[in-house]
Amino acid sequence: MDRTIEPLVPEGVFEPDGHYFDTPTYGLAPLATYESVVGAAQRWRAGRATMGEYDEAVDRSRQLFARIVGVEASSVAIGANVSSLVGPVAAGLTPGSTILAPLGEFTSLLFPLLVNRGLTVRTVPLAEIAGSIDESIDVVAFSLVQSSNGEVADSTSIVEAARRHQVRTLVDATHAAGWLPFEARDFDFVFVAAYKWLMCPRGVAFMIMHSDLEPPTTNAGWYSGEDPWASIYGEPLRLAASARRFDTSPAWIPWVGAVPSLELIDSLGVDRIHAHDVALANAVRAGVGLDDSTSAMVTLSMPRPDRLTEAGIKASVRVASVRLGFHVHNSSSDVDALLEVLTEGGGP
């Protein structure tokens, strides 16, 4: 590389075994996250765990996530995964609604819509979404960054078209939150699984609500109450007035681990992470003769992806392409090691 790019964190915060480019599958655990999870497991085993520490972890995580994406914590609901948060929203859409979505959209967003027989889903290529929004469309559902190839949606054009035609917006920001700055307030609903670019343990997910649509609280439980510990027995129904009414009971230990991961993202700042991640991704693109992009992900056709594994490089294969993700722990040395394999024999 012509310019040296160092990791955004000190040595020892991450300890990957080799060169790790698989954040799009799961983010690496920072040291503080690992230690928090281990400590929580030890307290559980010894019978020293308390409900208070778990509630505090959920509350702190909600506050940190809200600050990272620039919304009020009162607009954030928590859950375990994207599909279970999309489900109630899909159930709240008017029967007969037509939803526009990208071809090949990730199914955690798509399946809760498709399973509802009162809805019609139409798909077009991502680049055609904004131009396909008209009076026949009621809802547009799309990922800000596509899981399969890292393509970044033109969300500005999509939002403008949606507003012009009074179309609701459902957005999966799982592959955006943590590295891509975006205006979460621009969308009716945003869903995020936090175990990728936010580097939280799996089992941590968020939904942001800025909509006049009131989905049914079909997953309501004791944790959906205004005061959860006063909502564990009996009638009447007493749900939170904020987005917390859509909370589902959290898997405790992952939320303890979520706090230090979100603190790290918050301390670094998404703008800084964005510049770092995209610079590394573009260094790889340049190294294999591709044009620059705005994505922190690179997908390449590679006849023998096993060569990466042999060189100690961790990536994944999606839709017959090698998928690479660049994040806070990556550096120029990772890129150099990757390019050495990719350009061996004249190219990937």
Q: For tokens 């085993």, name the residue.
A: 45
In this structure, the number of other CB atoms found within 10 A of the CB of residue 60 comes to: 17
Q: Is 261 exposed, middle or buried (0-12, 13-18, 19+ CB in 10 A)?
A: buried
Residue 193 carries which side chain, given as an amino acid letter? A
Alpha-carbon distance values, 175 to 82, 218, 326 (Å): 12, 27, 12
Tens digit of each residue's pLDDT, the chain (348 residues):
567 999 999 999 999 999 999 999 999 999 999 999 999 999 999 999 999 999 999 999 999 999 999 999 999 999 999 999 999 999 999 999 999 999 999 999 999 999 998 999 999 999 999 999 999 999 999 999 999 999 999 999 999 999 999 999 999 999 999 999 999 999 999 999 999 999 999 999 999 999 999 999 999 999 999 999 999 999 999 999 999 999 999 999 999 999 999 999 999 999 999 999 999 999 999 999 999 999 999 999 988 888 899 999 999 988 778 999 999 999 999 999 999 999 885 556
Distance CA 188, CA 171 (A): 8
Distance CA 209, CA 72 (A): 10
Sign, CA dihedral 147-153-158-160, equals positive
Q: Report pLDDT for 57.
A: 98
Q: How many residues are there in the chain? A: 348
pLDDT tens string 96-136:
999 999 999 999 999 999 999 899 999 999 999 999 999 99
% helix, strand, coil for the chain, step of 5 = 40, 15, 45
Determine phi and psi for 210, rounding to 5 degrees: -140, 70
pLDDT tens string 293-312:
999 999 999 888 888 999 99
Q: Report pLDDT for 346.
A: 52
Q: Specify the CATH class of 19-30+269-342 in words.
A: alpha beta
Write down the domain spans for the chain. Answer: 19-30+269-342, 50-266
Per DSSP, what are the bridge partners of residue 205?
79, 193
CATH assignment of 50-266, among 3.40.50.1100, 2.40.160.10, 3.40.640.10, 2.40.30.20 = 3.40.640.10
Q: Is the pTM of this model over 0.85?
A: yes
Q: Report pLDDT for 305.
A: 84
Per DSSP, what are the bridge partners of residue 35?
none
How many Cα atoms are found within 13 Å in the side-chain-facing hemisphere of 247? 27
Q: Report pLDDT for 302.
A: 84
Per DSSP, what are the bridge partners of residue 77?
207
